[in-house]
Homo-oligomer: A and B are copies of this chain.
Amino acid sequence: MINIDTLFINAIVLTMNEDFQLFKDGAVAVQEDHIVAVGDSADLQKDYQALTIIDCGGKVLMPGLVNAHTHVPMTLLRGLADDLRLDVWLMGYMMPVEREFVSPDFVRLGTSLACAEMIRSGITSFADMYYFEEDVAKATAAAGMRAICSQSVLKFPTPDAHSFEESLDYARDFIRRWKGHPLIVPSVAPHAPYTCTTEILKATTQLAVEFDVPLHTHLAETAIEVENMRNEHGMPVIPYVKKQGLFEAKVLAAHCVHIDKGEMRTMLHAGAGIAHNPTSNLKLASGVAPVKLMLETGLNVGIGTDGPASNNDLDMFEEIRLAALLAKGFSNDPTALPAKTILSMATRIGAKALHIGDLTGSLEPGKKADLILLDLSPVHNSPKFDRDPNGVYAQIIYASKANDVTDVMINGKFVMRDKLLLTLDEKSLLDGAQEYARKIDKFLFVREKSVLSKLIAIGGALEEESFEVQLKIKIANPEEVLASIENPHIEVIRKRHYHEYDTYFVFKDAEENRLRYREDDFINDLGEVDSVRYRLTLIGPSREHKVTSDSLLSRSRYFAPAGQSLRFYKEYFMPDSEFEIEKDRLRFLVKFQNTEFFINIDTILKPKLGTFLEIKSRTWGRQDAQQKSRKISQLLELLVQHPGEILAKDYLDMVD
C-alpha cells in the first residue's frame, strides 16, 4: 500500500487523455499537488492508502476546464453596455470607463469575482490579458486558481502606463518576479497588431523568448482587421506578424476568425495555440472561426469565454455547447466536432494551446491535480444511456450546466466542496462589485446628460465661442453676383469650391441641442473631388442681436475632427431625430474697405431651398460689429441689384 493524500473513488472517470480512456467505476489518486494514479476503483483501493477517501457517488470526475482567453477584471463591467457595435462599445463605453476606474484595487476585486464564477463553472485554468496584471496574478493565486497572466502592451496610453515602454518595463518586472510560481505563468500581451507598433511586437517577442513565457495576443478577429492589414502592408495578419518575428515566441492567439489554410499551417509550424471564443465572436458579429479546419490542420485550439463584458459571463459550459453547435451549423455537417472533440478542446488541447499541456488538461499520473466533479443526475440531464460510449461526452456538452459542478480541486487543493467556495468570500465580492457599479453609473450618468461630455469622452473637442456678423438673402441669379465680385473695390484673396454634406443630430433635452457631422468635399477646377474632410461641430443655441439691418450672432461651438464613421456617431449619441442638408458652396475670402469678409454663394440641394448669398465676418464686440455690419450692407449693394428679404436664420433653422 502506498500512502497518499486523497483517493477519489466510485466516479465515471474521464481521463481526457489521447486515447480518451474512461473508467466507468473509476478512481484517481492524488498526492500533494499531482495525480499519482488513475484506474478502476477496485484496483486503486488495493494499491493506495489515502488520508481522505472521497466517494464520488457515480458523478463524473474529469479534468478542470481550461478557459483559453479572457479579461477577468472586466467582470466589474459586465452588462454595462450591450447590443452595440464593437467601436461604440469599446470607444464609447469600455475605454472611457477603464481610463477612469481601472486601478490595482479594481483589478484585484474583478479578478476575485471572476475566480468565484469560474470555479463555480468548473474552470481550473485560464489565460488572462489585462492591465495591472500583477494584481490579477495576486488575486488568482489567492483564489487558488491556475492562470496565464498576460500584461497588456499597447501603443496608446493605458490605465497602467503612459507609454508602451512603461508597460514593457512592468511586464519584465512582473515576469521576472513570478516566473516559476506554482499556479501563475506570467506572460506578455502585445494587444493586437493594429494596436501595436512593429517595435512593440518585436520588443514583446524578445521579452517572451528571453524568459521562455507565452506571448498572448489577439489575431485576425474581424474581417476589417484583415482588410486594413492587406491595404497597409499588402498581406493578411498572420504573415505580417510572422514577418515581425512574433512566432519565435510561444504564441497564444485569440480569435483567428479570419485566417486561411496557409496561415493555419504557418501557425502550426510555429507551435502557436489558438483560443476560439464563439460567444464573443457572435455577439460582436465578428464572424465564425473555421475551427474544424484548424483541428484538421493539427492546431491546438482551446475554447475561451473572452471577457465578461462581451459575453456576459464566464461559463465554459455555455461556451463548449455553443462551440459544438456552431461548428455544425456553419459547416452544414451535424457530425462536425462531436462532443468528445469539443470536450478535449476544453481540456487537454486547450491546455496545450496555453503551452501548459505538460501541467494540466487531462487526468494522467504526473500531471497536476486539476479536476472537477460533475453531477449528471439533475432533471435536465436524465435519463442516462449506456449504449453509446460517446454518450457521456454528449451529456456534458449538450445538457450539463455550470451549476452541475459540485467540487473543484486545483493543484491538489480543494477550492470548492459541495458547491461551497473555500478560498473566496462571495458576499464581500458582490458588495464590492456593486459599489463600483454605483460609481460607474454616476460617472456615466453625468457624462450622458450632456452631448458635450459624451463628445469629450470619445476624444475631446475644441471649444470656440464665436461672434459673427452675418447677412443672408435668397438670390435668383447667382451669375449676377459672381460677375459683380469682379469689382475694383473688392479684392478676392481666395476662392474655394465645396460640396458639403451635413447631418444634424437633434437632441430634445440637451442644452447643446444640435450636433453636426459634416463631410466637406473640396472640388478642384476640373470639377473633381480633390480631398475630403470630416468634422463634428456641436452647436450651442444662438443668442441673436440685431445690428442695423443685419444680425450679430453669438454661439458656442465645439469642434472635433470626426475620426469615426457617421454610423458610429449615430449609434453613440443616439439623437432624438436627425436631418440632412446638402449644398454646393462657392466661398470667397475677400477684402473690402480693409476688412476681410467671407462671401458664400450656397445652392441648397437637399432640401431644395434655392440659392443664397451669405456675407459673414468674425467679430469681437458690438462696436466692431456695427462697423462691419455697415460695410456688409455696402458690399451687398455692389453684389446684388435688388436684394430681397434679409434672412436671420441658419439653413438648419429653415429645415426644422
Interface residues of A (CB under 8 A from B): 75-76, 78-86, 89, 113, 116-117, 120-121, 279, 281-285, 287-288, 311-315, 318, 321-322, 324-326, 328-329, 331-336, 338-339, 377, 379-388, 390-391, 394-395, 398-399, 401-403, 426, 429-430, 433-434, 436-437, 440-441, 444-445, 448, 571
Contact = CB atoms under 8 A, between A and B. Distances in A.
Nearest to A89: B334
Given A313-B398, A325-B282, A83 B379 contact: no
Contact of A444 (B284, B287, B387, B426): B387
Contacts of A401: 315, 401-403
A447 to B, nearest CB: 9
Contacts of A383: 76, 78-79, 430, 433-434, 436-437
- For this chain, the copies found in one complex come to 2
Main secondary structure of the interface of A (DSSP, over half): helix
Contacts of A322: 322, 325
A386 B441 contact: yes
Contacts of A387: 80, 440-441, 444-445, 448
Nearest to A120: B379
A120 B334 contact: no
A329 B281 contact: yes
Given A339-B83, A385-B80, A430 B398 contact: no
15 contacts: A78-B399, A79-B395, A84-B334, A117-B379, A121-B380, A285-B331, A285-B332, A285-B333, A382-B430, A383-B430, A383-B434, A383-B436, A384-B437, A401-B401, A401-B403
Nearest to A394: B82
A134 to B, nearest CB: 24
Contacts of A117: 379-380
B388 A81 contact: yes
A403 B321 CA distance: 17
Nearest to A76: B383
A562 to B, nearest CB: 20
B82 A398 contact: yes
Q: Which 6 A-B pairs have the closest CB atoms?
A: A383-B437, A282-B329, A83-B338, A82-B394, A312-B398, A282-B325
Given A338-B82, A339-B82, A386-B441, A399 B282 contact: no
A441 B385 contact: yes
A286 to B, nearest CB: 8
A374 to B, nearest CB: 14
**A335, A444, A571 — which one has the most chain B CB atoms within 10 A of its CB?**
A335
**A288, A322, A333, A387 — which one has the most chain B CB atoms within 10 A of its CB?**
A387
Contacts of A386: 437, 441
Contacts of A89: 334
Contacts of A79: 381, 383-385, 391, 394-395, 398-399
Nearest to A81: B388
